[in-house]
Every structure is written in C-alpha cells, then in structure tokens.
C-alpha cells in the first residue's frame, strides 16, 4: 500500500472540565504559533502564560479564557487550534522523525478544537486519536473540528 499523502481537518466542541497533571520531560512536542487573549499552559502543577514561542510538551494542559485562542504546531506538522473557554490536554506525543511513526492523543475536555493532521496520521493513523469526555475520534485519512461542553466540570 502506498503511503497516503493527505491530511485530515476536523473541528470538535466539548463542554466540561477535568483535572490531572503530569511531568514534562525531554523534547518538546510542539510550539505555540498563535496566541490571543488569555492563554495558559499547566505543566507539573505550574501555570505559565502561553505566548507565541512557548514550547508544548506531552501532558501539558492548554487553557484559554473567554477572550482566548491559541494555535500550536506539533513536530510532525499537526496543527491544533483552540477557541475561547477551552481546555485541551496533549495526553501523548511520540514522534520518530526517521520513520514518521508515532503516537498522538489529545483530550478536548471543554471548548473547541480545530485539527489538521500531520505526518504521524499519514504514517500510523491508528495511533492518532482525539478524545472528548464521551467519545474517541480516530483518523482515517484529514481536517476536522471538535466541540465538547455542558455538563459536569471538575
């Protein structure tokens, strides 16, 4: 099977917030390329402002306020961007730049996320997923959007 050269775009919306922080170690998974209004990253319990140029690590929680929006490019060229009142966690990011194999798992706890998939989704789509409080979105081929929201926030 030839390698498919395509990207998926999607959008997701979710409502609801959850907690939990892990340590950030090693190589950055990506970098903040756009930042507007109130945007922060929670890493190992600390909260840092997510200005343009801030590295993003696996396990980071990216949060936007009511006037906030943020765009992050991951090392495999995946584009993630969140609208206002969002909380997205980069649960997993592993990328081998020799084979383009890797793992991405992004949890949209609340708010909106737009996605353009990158090299990992082309090479190993089965190891890329996006999660909301109730669903798991798998990638079979490019661009989409996700919203999660309403209900319990904790």
Partner 1 sequence: MKTNWLLAVAAGWLLGGCVSERVVLLPSPDGRTTAIVVRDAQGEVVLDQAYAGVQRRAGEISRVQSSSAEVEELFGAALAAQPQKPRSFVLYFAGGADVLTPESEAELATIKGEIAGRPASEVMVIGHTDSVGGLEANDKLSRLRAETVRDILIAAGVPENKIEIAGRGEREPLVKTANEVAEAQNRRVEISVR
3 state SS of 120: helix
The one among 21, 84, 124, 127 contacting partner 1 by CB under 8 A: 84
User: Taking CB under 8 A as the rule, does residue 53 contact partner 1?
Assistant: yes
Q: Which residues contact 3 (CB under 8 A, 6 or more apart)?
A: 122, 123
> Which span sits near partner 1 by CB under 8 A: 17-25, 41-49, 143-151?
143-151
Interacting residue with partner 1 among 56, 57, 86, 91 (CB under 8 A): 86
Q: Which CB sits closer to partner 1, 22 or 36?
A: 36
Report CA-CA distances (Å) from 36 to 20, 29, 80, 82, 126. 25, 21, 14, 10, 33
The only residue of 50, 79, 106, 120 in contact with partner 1, by rule CB under 8 A:
79
Q: Is residue 73 at the binding interface for partner 1, with CB under 8 A as the rule?
A: yes
β-bridge pairing 87-95 and 102-116: antiparallel
Q: Count residues near partner 1 (CB under 8 A).
A: 60
Residue 104 CB, nearest distance to partner 1 (Å)? 14
Q: Considering only residues 100, 105, 124, 127, which one is a binding residue for partner 1 as defined by CB under 8 A?
A: 100
Q: Are 68 and 37 in contact (CB under 8 A)?
A: yes
Burial 39-67 (b: 16+ CB within 10 A, else e): bbbbbeeeeeebeeebbbbbbbbbbbeee
Binding site for partner 1 (CB under 8 A): 3, 6-16, 31-34, 36, 52-53, 69-73, 75, 77, 79, 81-84, 86, 97-100, 112-114, 116, 132-151
């Amino acid at each position: 099977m030839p390698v498919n050269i395509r990207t998926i775009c999607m959008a997701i919306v979710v409502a609801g917030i959850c907690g939990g922080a892990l340590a950030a170690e090693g190589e950055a998974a990506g970098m903040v390329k756009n930042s507007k209004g109130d945007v922060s990253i929670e890493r190992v319990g600390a909260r840092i402002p997510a200005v343009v140029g801030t590295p993003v690590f696996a396990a980071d929680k990216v949060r936007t306020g009511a006037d906030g929006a943020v765009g992050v490019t991951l090392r495999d060229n995946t584009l993630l961007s969140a609208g206002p009142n969002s909380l997205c966690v980069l649960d997993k990011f592993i990328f081998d730049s020799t084979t383009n194999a890797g793992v991405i798992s992004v949890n949209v706890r609340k708010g909106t996320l737009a996605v353009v998939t990158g090299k990992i989704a082309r090479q190993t789509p089965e190891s890329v997923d996006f999660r909301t409080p109730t669903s798991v979105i798998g990638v079979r081929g490019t661009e989409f959007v996700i919203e999660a929201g309403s209900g319990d926030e904790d």
